[in-house]
């Protein structure tokens, strides 16, 4: 493991910075060909190579500090609220009294911070494969990594796939998969065997939420994820999306699935975190999530839906009438 | 007026292309400092300078053809559906039987195309200041400029502010202001006297919709627009937003206002265009808009709302608890 930080990093710039707009970070990837979002870099704060990926932290001029893994923006201080709050409260506000929650990935701690707002939660496990992400978040993103400080949290550094296999059946009320894109170390987290392990680890009527790419860019990946989830999860299976400016195309989606058991209606939150303000005193107010935006997140543009599916009126996802120019 | 097009344009590249990623267009502006969206250019198709602005059209590698005014992306073939459909159907689906509609700006014709889907409409006026935009759209964006072909359309090339002043009181059921950003030729279209003219030109209970920037980037501009509109319009005043990947921060907002008269509930469309499929035969299906996403567009993230206003439960817009890092 090679780690550079502070002043030494500046001498040897990562390719994504030096190769495009001088002094700007540009996010170029085969996952979004022909476009790139660029952010002006004030200072590179950390640069390292873990056993799994390249890790970069820089101070931007207008988005606060930015965390980048393998050239892809994971979070900025300015808009991380949208992702962390939505991926957490969409599932947890959809079930009554979540008690045991597992987070897979999410090494920055932001999802933990949001899970910890729920006073019903008694136990929060997190399995993150890359310790460097945790360490870097604690050093540079204290308002995100604060999630690790909750006494209900147990950290497991390791492979989420292996961790899940060892979990006794029916353990968790909710599992949140906060992964990077399905190219690289997170690939397995988008495949059917992994979804099977998730379903097994959940109690009847338990819920899982995983990040599920952009409807503007990745309809085929999303169609595969939806099809896989419909085979594995026998309860509700719904797709939601939200705005995150620094993610490609400015949006990110979420796959929400429930196991067979008590009915879960993801579109109508029954456990509204924004109605209970006890968490606000210690953690500050929610910046993005509220019950209205929860329900709105399940409304998809016409190009992303085609007909009604059998599952609770959720629309099937198709690209058939999408981009025909 | 200096016009270059075809091969001659390639020799003299516009600054926004040559100065950043070679062969890519980058959108850099003081309106979104410290960030830029870049799109790979396959071929420059047109480059000219009108009396009002620089006009650029290029073929991109993954977003189809792209129209740029003064360095700012106005539309791409891939995602123009989201903007055109939302700015049009949000107002027109909120009132019964719109008959007379005025479009200010919108020289590409896309809003006309969408207005023309409404079979109740008898008369569509459009006032666009820049003839070059119309000509370029007809030449390079036929699926957008098709809006001009509707027999109900009357084109007025001129200043929208002056045009409105000459409109008899109470003429229109709906006015759509499809302007560029409030820097440059469109500045007046965001000021109080113009809103006053709009209100006067509308019948009682008539509606107007104007593009109203990004909640992620321009909260202060939006606050000013909302405050101005609340003073001028005595009916409903609501802010909505939607996803448009190639606009800065990936979203664009809309200000929807009704004049005093029959109550307008913008959040609950009473004139659903997606329930009437007569327009689909000639114009193809809607790609983005549907009644669900209409209502969802009015749900704002917590950072953009603060308390309830007196107007039909619409939330006031504030930055108080926004970006505190």
**Class of the B7-76 domain?**
mainly beta
Q: How far is A8 from chain B (nearest CA, A)?
A: 24
Cα–Cα dist B208/B223, whole Å = 18
Give the pLDDT score at B220. 86
- Per-residue confidence band for B93, with pLDDT thresholds at 50, 70 and 90: very high
Give the pLDDT score at A13. 55
- Chain B residues in contact with A292 by the CB 8 A cut-off are 299-300
Q: How many CB pairs under 8 A join A and B?
A: 157
Give the pLDDT score at A284. 87
CB contact under 8 A, A301 and B323: no
Q: How confident is the prediction for chain B on average, in pLDDT?
A: 87
| Chain B: residue whose CA lies nearest to A299 | B293
Give the pLDDT score at B31. 85
Phi-psi region at B125: left, alpha or beta (left = phi > 0; alpha = psi -120 to 50): beta
DSSP labels for A225-283?
A: HHHHHHHH--S-EEEEEEE-TTSGGGEEEEEEEE-SSS---TTS-SS-GGG--HHHHHH
CB contact under 8 A, A78 and B295: no
- Per-residue confidence band for B315, with pLDDT thresholds at 50, 70 and 90: very low
* Section B282-294 average pLDDT: 93
- The mean-pLDDT minimum among A230-234, A270-274, B303-307 falls in B303-307
Q: How far is B104 from chain A (nearest CA, A)?
A: 26
- Looking at per-residue confidence, does B281 or A225 come out higher? A225
| Chain A: residue whose CA lies nearest to B295 | A296
- Looking at per-residue confidence, does A29 or A120 come out higher? A120
pLDDT over threshold 90, residue A318:
no
Helices (H), A108-218: 110-115, 131-140, 142-145, 160-165, 192-201
pLDDT over threshold 60, residue B322:
no
- Per-residue confidence band for A15, with pLDDT thresholds at 50, 70 and 90: low
Instruction: Measure Cα distances from A209 to A101, A206, A255, B178 in Å.
Output: 11, 11, 5, 38
Cα–Cα dist A97/A22, whole Å = 50
- The mean-pLDDT minimum among B201-210, B300-309, B312-321 falls in B312-321
- Per-residue confidence band for B28, with pLDDT thresholds at 50, 70 and 90: confident
- Per-residue confidence band for A267, with pLDDT thresholds at 50, 70 and 90: very high
Cβ atoms within 10 Å of B239's Cβ, excluding its own: 25
What are the tens digits of pLDDT across the range B137-196?
999 999 999 999 999 999 999 999 999 999 999 999 999 999 888 776 678 888 899 999
CB contact under 8 A, A301 and B292: no
Q: Look up residue A10 and give its two tokens.
A: 């500046």
pLDDT over threshold 90, residue B90:
yes
Give the pLDDT score at A293. 97
Query: Is residue B18 less than 8 Å (CB to CB) from chain A?
Result: no
Most confident segment among A19-23, B13-17, B313-317: A19-23
A 285-324 near B (Cβ less than 8 A) = 285-290, 292-293, 295-297, 299-303, 305, 321-323
Q: How confident is the prediction for chain A on average, in pLDDT?
A: 87
- CB-closest option in A64, A290, A322 to B325: A64
* Residue range(s) occupied by CATH 3.40.50.150 in chain A: 80-305
Longest dimension (CA), chain A: 57
- CB-closest option in B33, B61, B302 to A61: B33
CB contact under 8 A, B37 and A34: no
* Section A245-269 average pLDDT: 97
pLDDT over threshold 90, residue B277:
no
Q: Look up residue B264 and give its two tokens.
A: 């307008």
* Residue range(s) occupied by CATH 2.30.140.10 in chain A: 7-76
Q: Say how many CA atoms lie within 13 Å of A107 toward its Cβ.
A: 28
What are the tens digits of pLDDT across the range A19-42?
456 688 888 888 888 988 889 999
Name the fold adopted by B80-305: Rossmann fold (3.40.50)
* CA R_g for chain B: 19
pLDDT over threshold 80, residue B6:
no
Task: For residue A183, report the phi and psi dihedrals to the nearest 5 degrees.
Answer: -125, 130
- Chain B residues in contact with A323 by the CB 8 A cut-off are 64, 78
* Section A229-245 average pLDDT: 97
What are the tens digits of pLDDT across the range A137-186?
999 999 999 999 999 999 999 999 999 999 999 999 999 999 888 776 67
- Per-residue confidence band for B18, with pLDDT thresholds at 50, 70 and 90: very low
Q: What percent of chain A has pLDDT above 70?
A: 86
Query: Which residues in B77-201 belong to E strands, given as ranges?
Result: 100-105, 123-128, 153-157, 172-178
Asked if residues B56 and B46 have their Cβ atoms less than 8 Å apart, the reply is: yes
Query: Is residue A54 less than 8 Å (CB to CB) from chain B?
Result: no
Give the pLDDT score at A189. 87
Query: Length of chain B in residues, anyone?
Result: 325
Query: Which residues in B19-171 belong to E strands, given as ranges?
Result: 24-27, 35-49, 54-60, 65-69, 72-76, 100-105, 123-128, 153-157
- Chain A residues in contact with B20 by the CB 8 A cut-off are 20-21
Q: How far is A246 from chain B (nearest CA, A)?
A: 7
Q: How far is B172 from chain A (nearest CA, A)?
A: 29
Query: Is residue A81 less than 8 Å (CB to CB) from chain B?
Result: yes
CB contact set of B151 (below 8 Å; sequence gap of 6+): none
Cα–Cα dist B311/B230, whole Å = 9
Cα–Cα dist B287/A325, whole Å = 12
Q: How far is B84 from chain A (nearest CA, A)?
A: 13
| Chain B: residue whose CA lies nearest to A19 | B21
Pairing of strands B237-243, A35-49: unpaired
Q: Look up residue A263 and give its two tokens.
A: 């009915």
Q: How far is B63 from chain A (nearest CA, A)?
A: 8
- CB-closest option in B35, B288, B292 to A37: B35
Q: Could you tell me how far CA B105 lies from the centroid of its own chain?
A: 8
* Section A283-289 average pLDDT: 92
Cα–Cα dist B129/B239, whole Å = 26
- Per-residue confidence band for A188, with pLDDT thresholds at 50, 70 and 90: confident
* Residue from B249, B190, B247 nearest B217 by CA: B249
What are the tens digits of pLDDT across the range B234-259?
999 999 999 999 999 999 999 999 99
Task: For residue B52, report the phi and psi dihedrals to the nearest 5 degrees.
Answer: -120, -30
Give the pLDDT score at A320. 36
Query: Is residue B82 less than 8 Å (CB to CB) from chain A?
Result: yes
A 215-234 near B (Cβ less than 8 A) = 216
* Section A250-278 average pLDDT: 93
Give the pLDDT score at A279. 87
Cα–Cα dist A256/A240, whole Å = 8
- CB-closest option in A36, A82, A143 to B325: A143
Residue whose token pair is 């996952």: A31
By annotation, the residues of A acting in catalysis are 178
- Chain A residues in contact with B81 by the CB 8 A cut-off are 303
Phi-psi region at A35: left, alpha or beta (left = phi > 0; alpha = psi -120 to 50): beta
Query: Is residue B325 less than 8 Å (CB to CB) from chain A?
Result: yes
Q: Pick the catalytic residue: B70, B178, B181, B274?
A: B178
| Chain B: residue whose CA lies nearest to A78 | B323
Q: Look up residue B212 and give its two tokens.
A: 């109203």
CB contact set of B277 (below 8 Å; sequence gap of 6+): none
Cα–Cα dist A48/A69, whole Å = 10
Asked if residues B63 and B78 have their Cβ atoms less than 8 Å apart, the reply is: yes
| Chain B: residue whose CA lies nearest to A86 | B301
Query: Is residue A156 less than 8 Å (CB to CB) from chain B?
Result: no
What torsion do the CA atoms of A305, A307, A312, A318 make, to the nearest 10 degrees?
Answer: -30
* Residue from B84, B97, B80, B85 nearest B207 by CA: B97
What are the tens digits of pLDDT across the range B76-87?
999 999 999 999
What are the tens digits of pLDDT across the range A45-99?
999 999 999 999 999 999 999 999 999 999 999 999 999 999 999 999 999 999 9
Asked if residues B115 and B103 have their Cβ atoms less than 8 Å apart, the reply is: yes
* Section B201-206 average pLDDT: 98
- Per-residue confidence band for B12, with pLDDT thresholds at 50, 70 and 90: low
Cα–Cα dist B264/B91, whole Å = 10
pLDDT over threshold 70, residue B128:
yes
């Amino acid at each position: 493991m090679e780690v550079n930080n502070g002043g030494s990093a500046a001498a040897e710039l990562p390719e994504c910075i030096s190769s495009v707009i001088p002094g700007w970070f540009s996010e170029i990837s085969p996952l979004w060909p022909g476009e790139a979002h660029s952010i002006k870099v004030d200072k590179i704060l950390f640069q390292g190579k873990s056993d799994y990926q390249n890790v970069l932290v820089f101070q931007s001029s207008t988005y606060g500090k930015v965390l980048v893994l393998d050239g892809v923006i994971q979070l900025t201080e300015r808009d991380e609220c949208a992702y962390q709050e939505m991926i957490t409260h969409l599932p947890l506000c959809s079930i009554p009294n979540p008690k045991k929650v597992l987070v897979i990935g999410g090494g920055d701690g932001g999802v933990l911070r949001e899970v910890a707002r729920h006073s019903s939660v008694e136990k929060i496990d997190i399995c993150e494969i890359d310790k460097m992400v945790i360490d870097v978040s604690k050093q540079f993103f204290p308002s995100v990594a604060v999630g690790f400080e909750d006494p209900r949290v147990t950290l497991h550094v390791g492979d989420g796939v292996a961790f899940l296999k060892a979990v006794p059946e029916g353990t968790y009320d909710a599992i949140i998969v906060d992964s990077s894109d399905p190219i690289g170390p997170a690939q397995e987290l988008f495949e059917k065997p992994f979804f099977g392990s998730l379903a097994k680890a959940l109690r009847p009527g338990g819920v899982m939420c995983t990040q599920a790419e952009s409807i503007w860019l990745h309809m085929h990946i999303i169609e595969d994820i939806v099809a896989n989830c419909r085979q594995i999860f026998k309860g509700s299976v719904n797709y939601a999306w939200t705005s995150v400016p620094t993610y490609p195309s400015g949006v990110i989606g979420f796959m929400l699935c429930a196991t067979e058991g008590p009915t879960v209606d993801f579109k109508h939150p029954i456990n509204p975190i924004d109605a209970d303000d006890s968490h606000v005193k210690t953690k500050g107010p929610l910046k993005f999530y509220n019950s209205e935006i929860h329900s709105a997140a399940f409304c998809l543009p016409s190009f992303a839906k085609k007909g009604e599916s059998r599952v609770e009126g959720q629309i099937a996802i198709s690209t058939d009438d999408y981009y025909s120019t």
